């Protein structure tokens, strides 16, 4: 599908679950025609159950709902949770569900990592926030710091068409999508932001998101702030960060200081010497795990989405970001990140870096190359093409009885 820059959008920054979940649930509550939803994680906790109630109520009043969750990220949904939705007419799909092998999940690679909601074709949500309680600040020390955006305007059409294609939307759903008369004209150009929907797949768009980061870094003139939870990019992006810093751009990188997975910090620390000695300011966010995937540059460019800057997101997973040209949104996100830098981050000082001994350098080179080439290594393993599986609605008891009677009659006739 053809996707290009769209003018006339209004984009609102949503920080953490406290801002994100009420906006999404409210949009679903007001839905009149359709809801499209993709997520990596959906848990049966307070947040997941609240989403379940809103979707069920919308389906029961005739809203067409299609949703896809990842088979690795959401492996434990109960039959009752899913069947109550499908019984109400919700089209529910798993992306690449796989059976457990000795109690372990084996479908680790090529995950559906996008988080997208589109309601009535007039409002969309894109970002890094999953449907789980760990995105609320009151979850505890492991509550995640994260971001999403609420979008209105012409770009919503691109987002919705893409999700429809991705989930194999049913023909009757496309009828409401094609009829723009369902959409209030006031929402066609509700703001001034220019936006581009960018996605990563394993087909023709393998490095689109990374390319936009590279282009941004090569063109930056004043300053760049990148906040990324799982930071372990390739040579090109590291080189462009260093090049930008050395031509006078203030480049600041925020990574996890209190990671949800220890290996995350180990990987990022391997890059500290190269970046800090090259002039990049590196900060560790220490209040709680950082889960955001956002960036701003100069006074106009910004991005929010699901893509980390690591081998999984850049080389294997299905991701989606919005690239935004808008001074007001840039300032809003910039102010938020500046607050994090001032209140919750510790700068990595050059004099505190480990000395560059031959042993340390050799270890870093070996680990770096292993992690960077991990996607290719994963490709050597026994592979399968990820498949989408639709969950059928449960068979009604009376239908089961009717089927049994018809089967018995057939046996009698034969």
Given a cut of 80, whether residue 2 has pLDDT beyond it is no
Contacts for 211 with CB less than 8 Å, ≥ 6 apart: none
7 classed as catalytic: no
Separate counts of helices (H) and strands (E) for the chain: 14, 16
Pick the catalytic residue from 205, 265, 298, 373: 298
- Residue-level pLDDT at 384: 61
pLDDT (tens digit per residue) in 364-397: 666 666 655 655 555 555 456 788 999 999 987 6
Q: What is the pLDDT of residues 267-290, one digit of tens each?
A: 677 889 899 999 999 999 999 999
Q: What is the pLDDT of residue 1?
A: 73
Q: Tell me which of 232 and 123 has the higher pLDDT.
A: 123
pLDDT computed for residue 411 by the predictor: 46
Q: Is 115 a catalytic residue?
A: yes
Give the separation between CA 285 and CA 290, rounded to whole angstroms.
7
Q: What does the alpha-carbon distance between residue 73 and residue 371 come to, in Å, rounded to a whole number? A: 21
Compute the Cα dihedral for 350, 354, 356, 360 and give only its sign.
negative
pLDDT tens digit string along 175-186? 444 444 344 444
**pLDDT tens, residue by residue, 287-311:** 999 999 999 999 999 999 999 998 8
Q: Map residue 324 onto helix, strand or coil.
A: strand
Q: What is the pTM of this model?
A: 0.89
Residue 43, strand partner residues: none
Q: Which of 52, 64, 70, 120 is catalytic?
A: 120
Per residue in 30-41, pLDDT tens?
999 999 999 999
Active site residue 389: no
What is the C-alpha to C-alpha distance for residues 130 and 200, in angstroms, rounded to an integer?
Answer: 18
Q: What tokens does 133 get? A: 């309680």
Is the pLDDT confidence value at 173 over 50? no
Q: What's the rounded Cα separation, in Å, for the pair 119 and 30?
A: 9
Find, among 287, 284, 21, 318, the residue nearest to 148 by Cα: 21
Q: How is residue 318 annotated by DSSP?
A: B
Q: Which of 33, 64, 113, 152 is catalytic?
A: 113
Could you give the C-alpha distances from 169 to 35, 68, 115, 197, 228, in angstroms and in order? 11, 11, 17, 19, 32
| Domains of the chain, start order | 9-170+188-391 (3.30.870.10)
Catalytic residue among 146, 152, 293, 344: 293
> 33 an active-site residue?
no
Catalytic residue list contains 120: yes
Question: How far is 295 from 198, CA to CA, in rounded Å?
Answer: 14
Residue that has been written with the tokens 């960060």 in this structure:
241
What pLDDT, in 10s, does the model give residues 207-234? 999 999 999 999 999 999 999 999 989 8
Task: Report the distance separating Cα 287 and Cα 256, nearest Å.
Answer: 9
Point out the catalytic residue in the list 158, 291, 310, 326: 291
182 is catalytic: no
Q: Among residues 33, 115, 144, 152, which one is catalytic?
A: 115
Q: d(Cα 220, Cα 208) in Å, to the nearest integer?
A: 18
- Per DSSP (E only), the strands in 201-309 are 223-228, 250-256, 281-285, 293-297, 301-305
């Amino acid at each position: 599908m053809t996707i290009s820059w769209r003018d006339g959008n209004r984009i609102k920054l949503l920080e953490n679950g406290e801002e994100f979940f009420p906006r999404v649930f409210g949009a679903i509550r007001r839905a009149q025609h359709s809801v499209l939803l993709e997520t990596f994680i959906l848990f049966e906790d307070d947040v997941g159950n609240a989403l379940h109630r809103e979707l069920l109520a919308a389906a029961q009043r005739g809203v067409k709902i299609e949703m896809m969750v990842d088979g690795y990220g959401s492996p434990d949904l109960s039959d009752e949770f899913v069947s109550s939705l499908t019984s109400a007419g919700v089209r529910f799909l798993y992306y690449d569900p796989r059976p457990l092998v000795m109690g372990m999940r084996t479908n680790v690679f090529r995950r559906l990592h996008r988080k997208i909601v589109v309601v009535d074709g007039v409002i969309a949500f894109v970002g890094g926030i999953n449907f789980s309680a760990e995105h609320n600040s009151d979850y505890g020390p492991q509550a995640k710091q994260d971001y999403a955006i609420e979008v209105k305007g012409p770009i919503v059409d691109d987002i919705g068409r893409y999700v429809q294609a991705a989930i194999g939307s049913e023909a009757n759903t496309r009828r409401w999508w094609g009829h723009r008369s369902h959409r209030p004209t006031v929402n066609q150009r509700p703001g001034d932001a220019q936006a581009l929907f960018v996605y990563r797949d394993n087909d023709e768009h393998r490095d689109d998101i990374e390319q936009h980061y590279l282009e941004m870094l090569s063109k930056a003139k004043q300053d760049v702030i990148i906040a990324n939870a799982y930071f372990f990019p390739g040579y090109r992006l590291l080189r462009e960060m260093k090049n930008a810093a050395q031509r006078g751009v203030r480049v600041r990188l925020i990574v996890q200081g209190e990671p949800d997975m220890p290996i995350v910090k180990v990987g990022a620390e391997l890059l500290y010497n190269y970046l800090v000695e090259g002039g990049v300011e590196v900060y560790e966010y220490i209040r709680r795990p950082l889960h955001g995937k956002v960036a701003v540059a100069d006074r106009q460019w910004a991005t929010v989405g699901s893509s980390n800057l690591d081998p999984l997101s850049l080389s294997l997973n299905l991701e989606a970001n919005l690239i935004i040209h808008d001074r007001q949104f840039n300032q809003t996100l910039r102010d938020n990140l500046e607050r994090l830098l001032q209140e919750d981050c510790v700068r990595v000082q050059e004099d505190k870096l480990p000395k560059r001994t031959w042993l340390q350098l050799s270890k870093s080179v070996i680990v770096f190359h292993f992690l960077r080439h991990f996607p290719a290594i994963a490709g050597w393993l026994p592979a399968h093409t990820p498949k989408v599986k639709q969950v059928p609605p449960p068979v009604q008891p009376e239908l089961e009885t009717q089927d049994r009677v018809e089967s018995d009659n057939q046996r009698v006739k034969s």
